[in-house]
């Protein structure tokens, strides 16, 4: 089966020679396979004829050509083929694609791929070296039939319970991006790379399973550990931190800034800069546990001082004094900020502006070979002997 001809110009790619048959849609799976494609894997994206990935229709926003920016954001460096998996022909072509692949990624509801004859056990019997990654919402047990939508998982998985303003005025709030999908995609990427390394050593493939719920509970980190290890059920604190103070947003004369004071030395520097050095020796605020216990009193004192000047002033003066602080930027400001700091944030992928791959590798860097594909753009290239492969 033909390989991606664009691969020939990046011989230093870390995943050169790895082919991924990608049956995933929307965000978690496609995000994982894009990261792997950036690192050199040849990803063949299998889509439904006529409509393709659901996110192709998720607009606005759209780029100048009318293409959904949601789809564009997680599908670069991939080749798109259309296969109707409801037909014998489509399933046969899928098996042909998988036979020439190292990895399969899918995020159908549990049992769907098995019904199509494309489940892990059947494919592993044909190719014991195959790495098979299954992304689900709630695992393969009692929750197998539940739909895995990010908002739903944020709600039932506890994230919304700690996000938003405190009672009685606030209510549980989702994050401003589908964070659970993104975290799950990262976990899928790690699992696939670990399985490929295992195969390199032993010659054996394996099943990689990640779920949105399991990924979220792991990513709850200190909050989850506080419950599991100490029985503490956290609540909402707005932008404050349960274990550190001051570690939240404050109003200034014009717009909010964030203070992230992580130790007593930083707090002393903050107090000195604000003209109240005595706060560092105040028994209520001398140590971090003291400050957490008297969070409300501390916030009121700091707020009065910070309102005297604008955010730009504090964003310059506080870091210069060794106090971690910065303005609450809008997204355009965030990209401009990254540019000023020399952090590569925007790249060109086949003529399409894209968010840069976040990992910097000195010898095998990410490459941006292909723009996000048109629906079925590469069907004839991948299946050159069958013009009807998409039917």
Residues 294-344 have pLDDT tens digits of 999 999 999 999 999 999 999 999 999 999 999 999 999 999 999 999 999
User: In the predicted model, is pLDDT for residue 3 greater than 60?
Assistant: no
In the three-class reduction of DSSP (H, G, I as helix; E, B as strand; rest coil), residue 172 is classed as coil
Q: What percent of the chain has pLDDT over 70?
A: 96
State the CATH class of domain 247-340: alpha beta
- Selected from 3.30.930.10, 3.40.50.10540, 1.10.3130.10, 3.40.50.1100, the CATH number assigned to the domain covering 5-219+345-382 reads 3.40.50.10540
* Bridge partner list, 327: 257
pTM above 0.85, yes or no: yes
CA dist 369 and 9 (Å) reads 9
pLDDT at res. 2: 57
Q: What pLDDT, on the 0 to 100 scale, is given for residue 12? A: 81
Report, as residue numbers or ranges, the catalytic residues: 181
pLDDT tens digits along 263-273: 999 999 999 99
Q: Number of C-alpha atoms within 13 angstroms, CB side, residue 47?
A: 28
pLDDT digits (tens, 9 = 90+) for 175-219: 999 999 999 999 999 999 999 999 999 999 999 999 999 999 999
Query: How far is it, in rounded angstroms, from Cα 173 to Cα 170?
Result: 9
250 contacts 302 by C-beta, under 8 angstroms:
yes
pLDDT band at 8 (very low <50, low <70, confident <90, very high): very low
Instruction: Evaluate if residue 99 carries a pLDDT over 60.
Output: yes
Mean pLDDT of the chain: 94
Judging by beta carbons within 10 Å of its beta carbon (0-12, 13-18, 19+), is residue 386 exposed, middle or buried? middle
Q: What mean pLDDT do residues 380-391 have?
A: 70
Q: What residue ranges do the domains of the chain occupy?
A: 5-219+345-382, 247-340
């Amino acid at each position: 089966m033909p390989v991606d001809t664009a691969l020939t110009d990046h011989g230093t790619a870390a995943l050169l020679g790895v082919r991924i048959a990608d049956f995933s849609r929307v965000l978690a799976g496609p995000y994982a396979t894009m990261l792997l494609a950036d690192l050199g894997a040849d990803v063949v994206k299998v889509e439904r004829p006529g409509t393709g990935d659901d996110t192709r229709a998720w607009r606005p926003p759209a780029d100048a050509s009318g293409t959904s920016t949601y789809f564009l954001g997680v599908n670069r460096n991939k080749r798109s083929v259309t296969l109707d998996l409801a037909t014998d022909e489509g399933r046969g072509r899928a098996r042909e694609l998988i036979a020439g692949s190292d990895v399969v990624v899918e995020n159908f509801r549990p049992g769907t791929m098995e019904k199509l004859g494309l489940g892990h056990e059947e494919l592993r019997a044909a190719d014991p070296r195959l790495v098979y990654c299954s992304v689900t919402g709630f695992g393969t047990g009692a929750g197998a039939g539940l739909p895995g939508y990010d908002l739903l998982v944020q709600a039932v998985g506890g994230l919304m319970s700690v996000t938003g303003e405190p009672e009685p005025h606030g209510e549980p709030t989702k994050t401003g991006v589908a964070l659970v999908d993104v975290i799950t995609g990262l976990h899928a990427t790690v699992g696939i790379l670990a399985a490929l390394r295992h195969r390199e050593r032993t010659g054996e493939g394996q099943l990689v399973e990640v779920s949105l719920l399991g990924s979220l509970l792991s990513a709850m980190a200190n909050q989850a550990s506080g419950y599991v290890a100490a029985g503490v059920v956290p609540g909402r604190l707005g932008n404050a931190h349960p274990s550190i103070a001051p570690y939240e947003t404050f109003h200034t004369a014009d717009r909010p800034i964030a203070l992230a004071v992580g130790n007593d030395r930083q707090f002393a520097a903050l107090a000195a800069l604000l003209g109240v050095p005595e706060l560092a020796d105040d028994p209520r605020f001398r140590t971090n546990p003291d400050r957490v216990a008297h969070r409300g009193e501390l916030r009121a004192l700091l707020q009065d001082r910070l309102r005297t000047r604008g955010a730009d002033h504090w964003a310059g003066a506080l870091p210069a004094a060794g106090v971690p602080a910065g303005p609450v930027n809008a997204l355009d400001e965030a990209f401009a900020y990254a540019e000023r700091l020399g952090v590569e944030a925007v790249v060109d992928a086949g003529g399409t502006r894209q968010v840069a791959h976040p990992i910097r590798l000195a010898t095998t860097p990410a490459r941006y070979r292909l723009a996000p594909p048109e629906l079925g753009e590469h069907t004839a290239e991948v299946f050159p002997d069958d013009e009807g492969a998409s039917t």
